[in-house]
Structure 1
Amino acid sequence: MTVPPELADIPRLSAWLDAHVPELGDGPLVVEQLHGGTSNVILTLNRGGRDMVLRRPPAVPPPGSEKGVLREARVLSALGGTDVPHPYCHGSCADPGVIGAPFYVMERVEGWAAELRDGKIYNRPPFDRAPSEYGIAYALVDGLVALANVDYKAVGLEGFGKVEGFLERQVDRWEGQLRSYAERYGYAYREIPGFTYARDWLRANIPDDFRPGIIHGDVGTPNALFAFDRPARLAALIDWELSTIGDPLIDLAWFTNKLRDEDRPDDIDPYALYPIANFPTRQELARFYAAGTGRDLSHFDYYCVLALYKGGCILEYKVAQSAAGVLSPETGRFFDRLVTSNFAKAEQLCRKAG
């Protein structure tokens, strides 16, 4: 795909690469657009050898995206030398004078990512069916185990997130975001069944064994690259723009909160994104994670409730946008089902946990 000149000034970028990423080569620079989204643009770079990838905000960046790109570069650089599968960061640039925005350059990892289509996540064959599909979840959680075992201070990420009072801040933070949609989109704030119960339960049941670590922030198979050969193996976790320092158990809960419960293995959520009939239960994955990290998961239900609550609060903005006419009524109804399902399941988990 042709790259618009506002996304990459070839002469300036070539000069910067000469100075900072000589391993790319010294031939004529060929730049192609691999992906262009609302939050980040991904370009491929080639100078006669292997491709590399440049990640930058779009030409008209949304609020915070420039800072987010540099945060991604920082965490990827910090992970170099660890066991966490990730793209190696070759260099970053905070100077918008080079190509019009901050950016970083990373390796191009070979692998496949799951695709989100029509409200469902689809895996590449043969990982779209049993028995190969079963290993996908374990492969992803294996990456989360490696991430949880990283000493964030030792790799230079002290100060990357506010650790003090992390769990205590979560409920109010996401409720505040939920309530902000009324003013931002001009829609009437609504009382969602299960929201108040989950909010109050979370405030009353904060675990006292908080162990800070690196959080990816948006864990899912579309944000991961898997090896093409079997068995399932994680090649890299990607899209680190929401990473911070907090409680890594939130990542595990975020990924597993829509999977089957081993107490009701035949109870499959009709709105689940994942092909969960061929996935392990959330408890199986929790035990696998606990064995790999040594973390106590006796409060895992708390994190599952928090992940459902957080997801419901975030996704309500799609309902608000639909009400404001930004998105179609059909899209609004789809996300309304997801939001109400999240809070209903959150309340159910709260009542089960007591």
Structure 2
Amino acid sequence: MTEDTDTDYIDRIVDSDSLAAYLETHFGPVDTYDIEHHPEGHSNETLFVTWGDNELVIRRPPPGETAETAHNVLREYRIIDSLQDTAVCVPTTVLACDDHSVLGSDFYVMEKQDGDVIRADEPDRFEETEHRQRIGTELIDRLAEIHKVDYEKAGLGDLGHPNGFTQRQVDRWSDQLDWAFEVTSTEREVPQIHEVTEWLHKNVPSEYPHTLVHGDYKLDNVMFGPGTPPEIASIFDWELSTLGDPLTDLGWMLSFWWDKKDPDPPSSVGQLYEPVTMRDGYHTRTELVERYENQTGFTFENEKFYRTLAVYKLAGLGEMFFRRYLEGNSDDPLYPEMREGVPQLADRAIRIIEGVEPL
């Protein structure tokens, strides 16, 4: 097994002997077996596993108590598996397991993809203006494919209830914040987030298209293949996918896409954003919206609501991270940063509401 900087933590999320016995049952014995904890994700845990000639990825929830609706990895598996024969770019599914004697939780296995995920930087081969433009169009076009899926034909017609979805998003993330505040409020308060909650409740759109939504669609949740021009090879992190309002996906994606005119990302949450898009050649948010509208036929009305909701959701995730840190249930270095990061996100949401950070 690959050495981990925190062996106590990796021992909490994987029993190498138990996993080996499980994999041997399905793939047969091998001479090469290796496990690596992938540190980039901030929600479910990701493990890279080499089993002989098989390069695999395992997704499982974090250890300890979680919010009631979070980290349902078997649901995530079902969605990815159902999309295998559609136009949507998803990883190839392999196995799903609900036997907690293996890892202490549900988990699933998929094939590992080759390529690059863009976070703080871009691959050298993408530095030309035409390639930077292609990154934006790929991101929008693949999102449009998700929103155009015939979810009934894919067997996902029972995945969610589109009616009332957008209001439930506000309710859900308010509940997630309340869950986190049960612990984090003893450390510090975030009074401005309650102003955002009130504004969102008053401005929820009553009408919107009904589609499959990804729930966490953004630049660093897609992988670009190894060649040029840039082409998305796979879309990851379907944990929050459901049937609902596609404009919530667009608002979420745009909240991570920084324009040149924007202020620098909040310092305590900088690693959650992709300021790479502020470089010459990348589309502006307005240009991305125009392409999305052309690809889908939908109109991005109430853009201020959707972008505010996106930042509010990120604040909710951040506060949940902070609770997990305080309870000792994560080794992620981002989590303690949420002490200051969530108040900064709440401030950003208010700036969007007030028009200080326009589309």
TM-score band w.r.t. shorter chain: 0.7 to 0.9
CA distance in 1, matches of 2:49, 2:209: 38
- The alpha carbon displacement at 1:345 in A equals 1.9
The structure 2 residue matched to 1:82, chosen from 76, 83, 86, is 86
In 2 relative to 1, CA 199–6 (structure 1 residues): closer, same or farther, beyond 3 Å? closer
Map of 1:122-141 to 2, 5 A cutoff?
A: 122-127=121-126, 130-141=129-140
Structure 1 vs Structure 2 CA RMSD: 3.5
CA contact (8 A) 2:94 2:110 kept: yes
The structure 1 residue matched to 2:353, chosen from 341, 346, 353, is 346
CA contact (8 A) 1:40 1:65 kept: no
Map of 1:10-49 to 2, 5 A cutoff?
A: 10-15=20-25, 17-18=26-27, 26=28, 28=30, 30-36=32-38, 39-48=44-53
CA distance in 2, matches of 1:167, 1:189: 26
In 2 relative to 1, CA 97–311 (structure 1 residues): closer, same or farther, beyond 3 Å? closer
**Rg larger in structure:** 1
Alignment of 1:282 with 2:285, yes or no, is yes
Map of 1:196-235 to 2, 5 A cutoff?
A: 196=195, 198-235=196-233
In 2 relative to 1, CA 330–62 (structure 1 residues): closer, same or farther, beyond 3 Å? closer
Q: Percent identity?
A: 28
User: What TM-score, normalized by structure 2, do the two folds share?
Assistant: 0.78
Counterpart of 2:6 in structure 1 is: none
CA distance in 2, matches of 1:199, 1:65: 19
| 3-state SS of paired residue (2:131) | coil
Map of 1:152-167 to 2, 5 A cutoff?
A: 152-167=151-166
User: In structure 2, what residue type is equivalent to 1:240?
Assistant: W
The structure 1 residue matched to 2:303, chosen from 288, 300, 303, is 300
Which one is further off, 123-132 or 283-292?
123-132
Structure 2 gaps of 5+ residues are: 4-10, 267-272
- The alpha carbon displacement at 1:36 in A equals 4.5
- The alpha carbon displacement at 1:154 in A equals 1.8
CA contact (8 A) 1:259 1:280 kept: no
CA distance in 2, matches of 1:248, 1:211: 7
Counterpart of 1:191 in structure 2 is: 191
CA distance in 1, matches of 2:351, 2:320: 18
CA distance in 2, matches of 1:139, 1:289: 11
Counterpart of 1:148 in structure 2 is: 147
CA deviations over 1:270-307 (Å, ceiling 9, x no partner): 11722232331222111211222222323333322321
CA contact (8 A) 1:66 1:102 kept: no
CA distance in 2, matches of 1:93, 1:320: 28
User: What TM-score, normalized by structure 1, do the two folds share?
Assistant: 0.79
Q: Paired residues, what number?
A: 331
Counterpart of 2:294 in structure 1 is: 291
| 3-state SS of paired residue (1:81) | coil
User: In structure 2, what residue type is equivalent to 1:289?
Assistant: Y
CA contact (8 A) 2:32 2:50 kept: yes
In 2 relative to 1, CA 126–332 (structure 1 residues): closer, same or farther, beyond 3 Å? farther
- The alpha carbon displacement at 1:66 in A equals 9.5
Counterpart of 1:104 in structure 2 is: 108
CA distance in 2, matches of 1:258, 1:210: 22
Structure 1 gaps of 5+ residues are: 19-25, 116-120
User: In structure 1, what residue type is equivalent to 2:223?
Assistant: L
- The alpha carbon displacement at 1:92 in A equals 1.6
CA deviations over 1:188-212 (Å, ceiling 9, x no partner): 533218x52x444433333343222
The structure 1 residue matched to 2:243, chosen from 242, 245, 257, is 245
